[in-house]
Amino acid sequence: MSELLQNVQEKAETWLNSRAIDNTTKAEIKALLTKQDPKELIDSFYKDLEFGTGGLRGIMGVGSNCMNKYTVGVATQGLANYLNKTFPGKPISIAIAHDSRNNSGYFAEIVAGVFSANGIKVYMFDELRPTPLLSFAIRYLKCDSGVVITASHNPKEYNGYKAYWNDGAQVVPPHDKNIIEEVKAITSFDQVKFKPTLANIHLIDEEVEQAYYEEVKKIIPNHEVIAKHKNIPLVYSSLHGAGITMVPECLKQIGFTNIHVVKEQEEPDGDFPTVKSPNPEEPSAMELVIKKGKEVNATMVMATDPDTDRVGMGVRKSNGEFILLNGNQAFSLMMYFIMKNLKETNNAYIAKTIVTSELIDTMAAKFGVECYNTLTGFKYIAELMGKFDGKKKFVAAGEESYGYMAGDFVRDKDAVSSCAFFAAMAASATDEGKSMYDWLIDMYVEFAYYKEGLLNVTKKGQQGEQEIKAMMEKFRNNPPAEIIGSRVVRLLDYKLLKEKDLLTGKESDLEFPKSDVLQFYLEDGTKVSVRPSGTEPKIKFYISVNAPLASRDEFEKVDQQLDKKIKGVEEYLLSV
């Protein structure tokens, strides 16, 4: 018997011997122990769930590596212990929200119960709500922490647990590490206070939501343009998620009157029956919203993921067809619009992640706005905002994975306000006699055509985790000298926090938290970033290429050239 299997069996036996574990769970564990193939048993127990870039996330099921009552309970008890130690003698409060996933409401009740039993005042939404509203509620209600139950855009088998701090942002070092230490210190489920103190649990009323809408109205520019073009047809889908509770209402509140909701996807449903995956990054998830867009001759279509922190967007071309904008294009357009209309650039800044298009950096330099880069994960952008509170003027932030934020009243990516912002942009483009697709080409002609590709390689389970580690070490220890005929001239290693000029041999330090990310800059301007996902069993390769675009007429030709280059880089990476 392998050491791994022995350790897994011992951990499973610990669960079986616990008085706190219910009989149904014990029966499921016994069934796993008697299976001839131990793979499912190993995947369920080989490790404990840990906070990654998106908090706690895993497949729902029994075991220490899955989302269930007990792993959620232990995580909550650990966070409760940390809060009580961090704020001794202070009345502590926390806000809780959940999305449409299976068991999300149930897990939210477990979380509320454990916090309440630990003497913590709980503010809880009585039904599903978008994640950004949780971030807003923490700040509005002056809570010390917050939790939202969601696995964002993961497949339906997953659920998750995002922990937030008193600034409305997801926890970052040292809090995340300290919480994990508190979780690890719990040696028995008997130490988890599952029995709720109902007097400590309070429902959040409509005041918080209305206050959020008022903040959105403040950041939306050109209200007179919206009033003029309020009837442009807009199509929205919540992809069976929490967005249906707020996005259509938010669009109405800022003045739009011709909003079409995709009825087949309107009902919240954790099985996501009309899509393969509830991820607006995937074209298949956008099929029904585009179909509806064609039916009503929409100016723009939008769809949000289950917890409504990401939004996918399609814009109409002159021939009536819709083109889906990827996260880099949508964010670039947002920044192009914002910075062109920014009246005061002094002390203003925007933020993005290191794997997001460098077209943003190029435009910011032209418009005289500071652009800061952070590690992947919106919590790092929020951390940066906290450092600059009262010192610099925050404008907007975004990342290539379809997450955007304008204004500083929320400290996480926000698809509700982003949908409102994109709708306002569509009205402004209409006012100019153009479409947002026209704007996209105009932007490329002015600043160069940047095109990005994302290659995901999925490696599931314990074996897959080891394979991903081996791939990263191979790239780290034997970096490529050239890729598709262009020399690698710079290497950035965010784990070693070193940048190396491969032409001169000069090394310099990177001022970032440590992260397992590598970036290769090529002589021809291509950039390749490599990182394991913090929330999914994947290794991700981000590819960015660019070329000048002399005129609109050359778009198709340059597009094909850049597409060919991206495919060449992908083929190289898969062959290594």
Q: DSSP of 411-449, one letter per residue?
A: SS--HHHHHHHHHHHHHHHHHTT--HHHHHHHHHHHH-E
How far apart, in whole angstroms, are the C-alpha atoms of residue 62 and residue 40? Answer: 10
**Where would I find the H helices in 284-389?**
287-295, 327-340, 359-367, 378-388
> Dihedral sign, CA of 268, 272, 273, 278?
positive
The packing angle between helices 104-117 and 69-86, to 10°, is 40
From the candidates 64, 100, 152, 435, give the one annotated as an active-site residue.
152
Cα gap 169→411, rounded to integer Å: 5
- Give one DSSP letter per residue of 259-293, joined into a string: EEE-GGGTS--TT-TT-SS--TTSGGGGHHHHHHH
Coil/strand/helix, residue 492: strand
152 is catalytic: yes
Amino acid found at 408 = D
- Helices 69-86 & 175-184, crossing angle to 10 degrees? 120
Contact 215, 240 (CB under 8 A): no
Distance of CA 28 to the CA centre of its chain: 32
Q: Read off the tokens for 449.
A: 């055509």
Give the chain's length.
576
Q: Tell me which residues are annotated as active site.
A: 152
